[in-house]
Amino acid sequence: MTTPRPRIVLLVSASVADSDSLQRDLADDPDQACTVALAERGDQALEQCRDLRPDCVIVSDTLLDTEGAALTSALQTELPLPPPVILLVDAGNETIAHQALRRGVYDYMLRGAAPERIRLTVRNAIEAAALRASLEQQRQALAASVAQQADLAAERDKLAQKEGETRRLMNEALALLDTLIDSAPIGIAFADRDRRFVRVNRALALMNARPVEEHLGRCPSEIFGDIGAAWERWWQTVLTTGEPIVNLEVSILVFGRREYALASYYPVRDVDGNLLGVGTLVTDISERKRSEIGQRVLAAAGSILAASPDACVLGDVVRTLFPDLADYGLVHLRSPRGELQLLAAAHREREFEAQLATWFDAERLAVSGEAHPITRVVAEGQTLRDAPGLITAEAGALPEQLQPATSVIAPLLAHGRCLGALTVVSVEQGRQYIGEEVAVIEELARRCALLTAAAYSYQEVRQARAAAESAVEQRDRFISTAAHELKTPLAVLLGNAQLLLRRAEQDFSLDAVNRRNLRIIVAQAQRLNRLIATLLDVSRLESGRLVSARVPVDLCRVASQLAEEHTPTLIRHVISVDMPDEPVLVAGDELRLEQVVQNLLHNAIKYSPRGGEVQIVVRRDKNEAVLSVSDQGIGIPEAELPRLFQRYFRASNAEARQIGGMGFGLFVVREIVESLGGTVEVQSVEGSGSTFTVRLPLWTSGPALVPAS
Binding site for ligand ADP (CB under 6 A): 599, 603-604, 607, 631, 633-636, 644, 650-651, 654, 661-667, 690
SS3 content of the chain, % helix, strand, coil (to 5): 55, 20, 25
Helices (H), 184-334: 202-208, 212-215, 220-224, 226-241, 286-307, 314-319
Helices (H), 55-114: 69-78, 94-102
- Is there a contact between 218 and 226 (Cβ–Cβ < 8 Å)? no
- Closest CB to ligand ADP among residues 352, 607: 607
Q: Give 441's contacts (C-beta < 8 A, 6+ positions apart).
A: 321, 325, 408, 410, 422, 424, 433
Q: How far is the CB of 646 from ligand ADP (least distance, A)?
A: 9
In a 10 Å sphere around its CB, with 0-12 CB exposed, 13-18 middle and 19+ buried, how is residue 638 labelled? Answer: exposed
Sheet holding 107-110, edge to edge: 34-39, 7-12, 56-60, 85-89, 107-110
Least Cα distance to 596 among 688, 542, 666, 503 occurs for 666
- Closest CB to ligand ADP among residues 489, 660: 660
- Closest CB to ligand ADP among residues 387, 531: 531
- Closest CB to ligand ADP among residues 4, 660: 660
φ/ψ of 565, rounded to 5, equals -60, -40
- Closest CB to ligand ADP among residues 218, 647: 647
Q: How far is the CB of 512 from ligand ADP (least distance, A)?
A: 34
Q: How far is the CB of 480 from ligand ADP (least distance, A)?
A: 19
- Closest CB to ligand ADP among residues 505, 655: 655
Residue nearest to ligand ADP (CB): 661
In a 10 Å sphere around its CB, with 0-12 CB exposed, 13-18 middle and 19+ buried, how is residue 640 labelled? Answer: middle
Return d(Cα 580, Cα 568) in angstroms, integer. 24
Query: Per the omega criterion (within 30 degrees of 0), is the bond before 323 cis?
Result: yes
- Is there a contact between 185 and 201 (Cβ–Cβ < 8 Å)? no
Q: How far is the CB of 594 from ligand ADP (least distance, A)?
A: 15
Q: How far is the CB of 534 from ligand ADP (least distance, A)?
A: 9
- Closest CB to ligand ADP among residues 500, 659: 659
Say which DSSP state 250 is in.
Answer: E
Q: How far is the CB of 293 from ligand ADP (least distance, A)?
A: 59
Return d(Cα 426, Cα 189) in angstroms, integer. 32
Q: How far is the CB of 591 from ligand ADP (least distance, A)?
A: 18
Q: How far is the CB of 529 from ligand ADP (least distance, A)?
A: 16
Return d(Cα 454, Cα 285) in angstroms, integer. 38
Q: How far is the CB of 531 from ligand ADP (least distance, A)?
A: 10
- Taking each continuous run of H as one helix and of E as one strand, the counts in the chain are 20, 22
Q: How far is the CB of 443 from ligand ADP (least distance, A)?
A: 50
Q: How far is the CB of 485 from ligand ADP (least distance, A)?
A: 23
- Closest CB to ligand ADP among residues 659, 698: 659
- Closest CB to ligand ADP among residues 255, 648: 648
Q: How far is the CB of 709 from ligand ADP (least distance, A)?
A: 22
- Closest CB to ligand ADP among residues 432, 534: 534
**Paired sense of beta strands 7-12 and 34-39, if any:** parallel
- DSSP line for 520-552: HHHHHHHHHHHHHHHHHHHHHHHHT-S----EE
- Closest CB to ligand ADP among residues 558, 636: 636
Q: Give 204's contacts (C-beta < 8 A, 6+ positions apart).
A: 187, 188, 189, 280, 282
Least Cα distance to 494 among 522, 469, 514, 520 occurs for 522
Torsion of CA 415, 417, 420, 426, to 10 degrees: 70
- Closest CB to ligand ADP among residues 350, 657: 657
- Is there a contact between 197 and 212 (Cβ–Cβ < 8 Å)? no
